Amino acid sequence: MEQKSEESLAMLKLNASKVRPDVLHKLLSDFGSASAVLEQRPGDADSGGAFSAKTLQYLLLTAGRFDAEAEWNLAQKMGVDVVFYGSSSYPDGLGAIYDPPLVLYVKGKLPRSGASGASSAESPATGRGGGVAIVGTRRPTPYGRRVAARLSRECAAAGLTTVSGLARGVDTVCHQTSVDEKGVTLAVLGSGHRRLYPGENQYLADRIACEGGAVISEFPLSTPPDAANFPRRNRIIAGLAEAAVVVEGGRKSGALITARLALEQGKEVFAVPGPIDSEESWAPNYLIRQGAHIVESIRDVLEAAPGLLSAAPASPALAPKMAAAGSSGELGPREAKLLELLGGGLKSIDELVLETRWPAASVTQGMMELEMRDKILYVNGQRYARK
């Protein structure tokens, strides 16, 4: 946690104003500090510049209503670190984008240079290779889940940090697989930490933070998961990664936004080819037509973005690990028990919780693992069946 000061509290107020980050950076550049910005009057605005008197008036009004002292104290109580743009803890690669967040609220271990695509091939904060964003639809097909899990396993085996958005679907598969495989993963929220969305991923978020990764948000702690927040957070996902992989997504998928932002940031974009009759393969197939790299394994990513690792995974030490990561392996006791119970017919998560007397989160994770291994399938989105 950085030290509380008049300037740090002023930065929290600016960040809470809902003014665009690029405008906030312009204000900081013009006036020298966040405290100085808050001392201005609307008439001090640059009429020919990046902001108007109306913008400055709105900023001063909204910032003035924000209780930065209470926010700071709440962050400490929640175990959330507050990291400011320009500090030594701020990720280098994220700081280099056009409109970096003024403030990052971080629970866990925030990587610095390597995981954000900077010159070093290894992150000083994690001791691992650079970041790979793995993104896609909230409604993945079994194929999409398998591929997302496979790529995440290979990233963990190769020492690469995965980056995603903690949403349902592909994001959840990426994060879940990464922590299960003892890898490092970064989850970027479209809400504040107090309003983590979706709620069922709270346990997963806690695991990420406790097992070497980080849950990150630019939004004040109590910010709700408004729809407009999610496209905005995608620039952070891209900024924390050296490459972006789109697994699945429809025509309006937010993954397309992440891919575009990654390109604008000078990152490599990859896409998983899918069936032409699958709506969820529209986005990756479109990106491939536009020139994105086809990805079948993480080796494809490393060949096109060699800066991710100082040594490619073709090295003898890493190759066997990556081969093992792509295989299904044996089921754990939890998954084996759930699969056995499904032998009696269709069952819902609630029914399995009653039969096993396990926590719902544990049953859900076990079912996700079985689905990723292609052992079960959804029926009407309500129940599961054994294949």
How high is the pLDDT of residue 42? Answer: 66
Per CATH, 80-325 and 333-386 having the same topology is answered: no
143 in Cβ contact with 167 (< 8 Å): no
Tell me the one-letter amino acid at 20.
R
Low-confidence ranges of the chain (pLDDT < 70): 1, 42-51, 112-129, 309-329, 361, 372, 380-382
How high is the pLDDT of residue 118? Answer: 37
User: For the whole model, what pTM was predicted?
Assistant: 0.78
How high is the pLDDT of residue 309? Answer: 63
Tell me the one-letter amino acid at 13.
K
Domain 80-325 has CATH 3.40.50.450: yes
Three-class SS string for the chain?
CCCCCHHHHHHHHHHCCCCCHHHHHHHHHHHCCHHHHHCCCHHHCCCCCCCCHHHHHHHHHHHHHCCHHHHHHHHHHHCCEEEECCCCCCCHHHHCCCCCCCEEEEEECCCCCHHHCCCCCCCCCCCCEEEEEEECCCCCCHHHHHHHHHHHHHHHHHCEEEEECCCCCHHHHHHHHHHHCCCCEEEECCCCHHHCCCHHHHHHHHHHHHCCCEEEECCCCCCCCCCCHHHHHHHHHHHCCCEEEECCCCCCCHHHHHHHHHHHCCCEEEECCCCCCCHHHHHHHHHHHCCCEECCCHHHHHHHCHHHCCCCCCCCCCHHHHHHHCCCCCCCHHHHHHHHHHHHCCECHHHHHHHHCCCHHHHHHHHHHHHHCCCEEEECCCEEEEC
How high is the pLDDT of residue 348? Answer: 85
How high is the pLDDT of residue 253? Answer: 94
How high is the pLDDT of residue 385? Answer: 86
How high is the pLDDT of residue 154? Answer: 92
Task: Give me the CATH topology for the region 333-386.
Answer: Arc Repressor Mutant, subunit A (1.10.10)
How high is the pLDDT of residue 386? Answer: 87
* Domain boundary assignment for the chain: 6-68, 80-325, 333-386
How high is the pLDDT of residue 331? Answer: 78
Percent of the chain with pLDDT over 70: 86
d(CA 338, CA 361): 13
